[in-house]
């Protein structure tokens, strides 16, 4: 019965015809079907954009200047656009700090409006939840928002052993203590970002983020697999039950067999030697016939069937020819 096994090809190019033949012969001998790792759908998070971060920081400085000059209307309009852009980009590592800075500037603006004290207090509280309390500036009142609230323990249910959880830019395990409120949450799997968003933490003791599952034998499961001079190097646990690693060697390929996180050493794949060609039936029959004839000849020879008449021994004969 043919079984299916995953093959991880560590080649920087397409396999050659010769390499394909080596793998096909190996699969035939082992009675397996070699397949590529299942493709993994990558989360649609853009690459880090330094120009976006510089733009956000520049607009925050401008909003702070407007607030200091008591131009609250323009400051609030600018802050609304800043908040929208930050919320749309939770993948930025410093998004929590940027949003906290937005909340502090907006709280300063609101604190000057009559009847907006509750809004200012809520913004200050949200800023402290995101980045903690700051040391007060000279002459300013200390940050009292959320200072008296104890932290709460939160556990994230759907993390895997290969996931690193970041809450507001701080890495840690799935069991954390946080201030209740909205937090920036990022999850990196083997260094790759697989989740980024804003989550309200603290209302429940456990939360499910909706992380993409780790599919055994997928590209993500076998990502970051490397090799040493003679063995496979794994930087993380592997869920795939049976898989192979192939890499180039002089004149062909060499292969290692793996059971989840345990791998054998590399063994060269050698071209099979051509099997000796079998005699055709007619040649066998001819040889049998020739053997029978030869046996008959030998038998006849042994029995004297081919002996000649014996040559008579020489004798002297006298002939009389009369008197002359």
Question: Could you tell me if residue 55 is inside a domain?
Answer: yes
Same domain (yes/no): 188, 239: no
pLDDT averaged over every residue in the chain: 84
Assess whether 264 and 296 both reside in one domain: no
Is 303's pLDDT higher than 60?
A: no
Q: Is residue 317 part of a domain?
A: no
Asked, for residue 143, whether it belongs to a domain, the answer is no
Of the listed ranges 36-40, 166-170, 200-204, 288-292, the least confidently predicted one is 288-292
Mark 40-76 as b/e (b = at least 16 C-beta within 10 Å): beeeebeeeeeeebeebeebbeebbebbeeeebeebb
Q: Is residue 302 over pLDDT 90? A: no
Residue 241 has pLDDT above 70, yes or no: yes
Q: Which of 16 and 294 is assigned the larger pLDDT?
A: 16
* Residue scoring higher pLDDT (314 or 190): 190
pLDDT attached to residue 285: 43
Enumerate residues 6+ apart whose C-beta is below 8 A from 209: 156, 158, 185, 187, 195, 197, 199
What's the mean pLDDT in 118-146? 76
Please give the residue range of the domain that contains residue 202: 152-207
- Residues 228 and 256 occupy one common structural domain: yes
State percent of the chain over pLDDT 90: 62
Lowest mean pLDDT among 11-20, 85-94, 299-308: 299-308
Residues 69 and 114 in one domain: yes
pLDDT at 321 over 70: no
Q: Is residue 147 part of a domain?
A: no
Residue ranges of the alpha helices (H) in the chain? Answer: 17-30, 50-68, 72-87, 95-110, 117-131, 281-303
- Based on the fold, state whether residues 203 and 226 are members of the same structural domain: no
What per-residue confidence (pLDDT) applies to 110? 87
Is residue 256 located within the same domain as residue 285?
Answer: no
In order of 34, 56, 77, 88, 271, the CA distances from 59 in angstroms are 55, 5, 11, 16, 66
**262: in domain:** yes
pLDDT(297) > 90: no
Residues 59 and 120 reside in one and the same domain = yes
CB 195 within 8 A of CB 211: yes
Is residue 145 scored above 50 in pLDDT?
no
Element (H, E) at 206: strand 206-207
Question: Is 163 a domain residue?
Answer: yes
Query: 263 with 281, same domain?
Result: no
C-alpha to C-alpha distance for 199 and 213, rounded to whole angstroms = 19
Least confident window among 95-109, 135-149, 185-199: 135-149
CA distance 113 to 121: 12
Distance separating alpha carbons of residues 147 and 162, to the nearest angstrom: 34
Q: Is residue 292 part of a domain?
A: yes
Q: Are 96 and 168 in contact (CB under 8 A)?
A: yes
- The count of domains in the chain is 4
Report if residue 318 sits inside a domain: no
The torsion angles phi and psi of 75, rounded to 5 degrees, stand at -65, -45
| Average pLDDT over every residue of 43-53 | 90
Same domain? For 87 and 122 the reply is yes
Angle ∠(215,221,224) on CA atoms, nearest 5? 160
The verdict on 27 and 56 lying in the same domain is: no
pLDDT tier for residue 149 given thresholds of 50, 70 and 90: low
């Amino acid at each position: 019965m043919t079984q299916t096994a995953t093959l991880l090809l560590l080649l920087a190019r397409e396999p050659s015809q010769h390499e394909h033949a080596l793998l096909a012969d190996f699969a035939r001998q082992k009675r397996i079907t070699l397949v590529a790792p299942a493709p993994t759908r990558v989360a649609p998070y853009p690459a880090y954009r330094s120009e976006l971060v510089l733009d956000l920081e520049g607009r925050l400085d401008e909003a702070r200047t407007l607030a200091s000059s008591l131009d609250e209307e323009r400051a609030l309009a600018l802050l609304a656009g800043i908040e929208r852009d930050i919320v749309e980009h939770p993948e930025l590592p410093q998004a929590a700090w940027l949003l906290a800075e937005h909340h502090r500037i907006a709280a300063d603006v609101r604190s000057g409006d009559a009847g907006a004290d509750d809004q200012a207090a809520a913004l200050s509280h949200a800023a402290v939840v995101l980045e903690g309390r700051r040391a007060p500036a000279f002459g300013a009142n200390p940050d009292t928002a959320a200072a008296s609230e104890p932290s709460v323990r939160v556990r994230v249910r759907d993390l895997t052993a290969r996931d690193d959880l970041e809450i507001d830019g701080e890495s840690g395990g799935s069991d954390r203590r946080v201030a209740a409120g909205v937090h920036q949450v990022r999850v990196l799997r083997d260094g790759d970002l697989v989740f980024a968003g804003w989550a309200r933490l603290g209302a429940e003791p456990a939360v499910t983020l909706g992380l993409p599952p780790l599919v055994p034998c997928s590209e993500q499961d076998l990502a970051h697999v490397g090799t040493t001079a003679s063995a496979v190097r794994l930087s993380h646990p592997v869920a795939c039950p049976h898989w192979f690693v192939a890499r180039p060697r002089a004149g062909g390929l060499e292969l290692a067999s793996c059971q989840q996180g345990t791998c054998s050493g590399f063994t060269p794949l050698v071209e099979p030697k051509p099997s000796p060609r079998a005699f055709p039936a007619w040649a066998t029959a001819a040889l049998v016939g020739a053997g029978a004839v030869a046996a008959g000849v030998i038998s006849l020879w042994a029995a004297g069937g081919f002996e000649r008449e014996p040559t008579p021994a020489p004798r002297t004969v006298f002939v009389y020819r009369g008197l002359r």
